[in-house]
Structure 1
Amino acid sequence: MRPVVLDALRQLGDKFRLEWKHYPESTSNPMRWVAAEAAECANDQGMFWEMHDRIFEVMEAKEGKVEWADFTTAAEKVGLDMRSFNKCLESGAKTATVQRDLAEAQQLGVKSTPLFFINEKPMQSSDILGELKKALGMETAPSATPAGR
């Protein structure tokens, strides 16, 4: 999904704002919550996407069976200031941010991810770039197709 989003940002980045929201589904894997907080701690150092990508790589390689140490290793690999990162993650400084994102998702009826909203409406198409162009009045998007998981 990230290559599609990056393509949209390259082509239309000055015309829309991408806003990431966490949906950690903590009941199925509590470490997803820690992953969300780790990404937010990395964001404090301007490295959200680097940490995001590394976390997803590690979670995929370990089939979701990650431990706390995996996040600190990921932070080291992306070059974060470890003292600041560890203080942020251990203190729970980003818990409220993740809680707000999850509450907002639940209020909007989000059941699974990824899910994109354009102008506060959930996308019903897998053509993210086309839907963005349509919303911006740049071209007509192809007929909507259900988004896959």
Structure 2
Amino acid sequence: MSTPSHAKPDRALVALLSPDPATDHILGPASAPVTVVEFGDFECPSCRQAHPTVQFTLSHFGPQLRFVYRHFPLREVHPHAELAAQAAEAASAQGKFWAYADLLFNHQSHLDSRHLDAYARQLDLDMPRFENELKDGVYRQRVQEQVEAGRRLNVRATPTFYVNGVFTDVSFGLLQLRDAIERALRKPSAP
């Protein structure tokens, strides 16, 4: 596998990174000139570290930024990540994705099913619905589709960020994300 491309993405990659309000978790207006897509894992320590920075970045750039979160659970190293992603989807079905995601990142060392249920109770979710959707694997396919999209983009680690469709390497710090957003804001819009 090659590493994510730093060059201008081709049309197929752009299509993979286009936000879909029906399946993606999106903050910020569709009219924002910059879209950041994160592939993340709720059990990943680096994603947990990035979480407050992403929140600050959203606040800092305001309506100039649209943020999209997609699941990329690294099952081989994070055994609870996939179920946590499905639980977040079940919470999303009840309008609580972002609040549930905050709980998952804030309690990252407690992502077993008992704790996932406790977080749902804490948010006053419809528990029979939440538990049945998890037990039945209702959101397994959605999570797998996001993982597959990440694989097609050569995502191998989390968090992985794309700013306006261009891979942004944050391995040397999340300041790279802010810098990429600022560069994207300075670029003239395409006609």
Q: TM-score, normalised by structure 2?
A: 0.64
Instruction: Structure 1: give runs of 5+ residues left out of the alignment.
Output: 139-149
- Other-structure match for 1:52: 101
Distance 1:89 1:58 in 2: 19
Instruction: Answer 1 or 2: higher relative contact order, Cα 8 Å, separation at least 6.
Output: 2
- Other-structure match for 2:141: 96
Does the 8 A contact of 2:74 with 2:81 survive in 1? yes
Deviates more, 1:128-137 or 1:90-99: 128-137
Deviations 1:81-135 (A, max 9, x none): 2122112212211111100111111111111111110122111243222321211
Distance 2:185 2:145 in 1: 28
Q: Which has the higher helix share?
A: 1
- Other-structure match for 1:134: 183
- Other-structure match for 1:38: 87
Q: Give aligned pairs, total.
A: 134
- Other-structure match for 1:5: 54
Look up the SS of the partner of 1:18 in the other structure. strand
Distance 2:107 2:135 in 1: 20
Does the 8 A contact of 1:40 with 1:94 survive in 2? yes
Q: CA RMSD in A?
A: 1.8
Distance 2:94 2:156 in 1: 31
Instruction: Structure 2: give runs of 5+ residues left out of the alignment.
Output: 1-49
Deviates more, 1:45-54 or 1:97-106: 45-54
Q: Which has the higher strand share?
A: 2
Percent of aligned pairs with the same residue? 28
Does the 8 A contact of 2:160 with 2:169 survive in 1? no
Does the 8 A contact of 1:58 with 1:70 survive in 2? no
- 1:29 aligned to which of 73, 78, 88: 78
Q: TM-score, normalised by structure 1?
A: 0.80
1:122 is aligned to 2:171: no
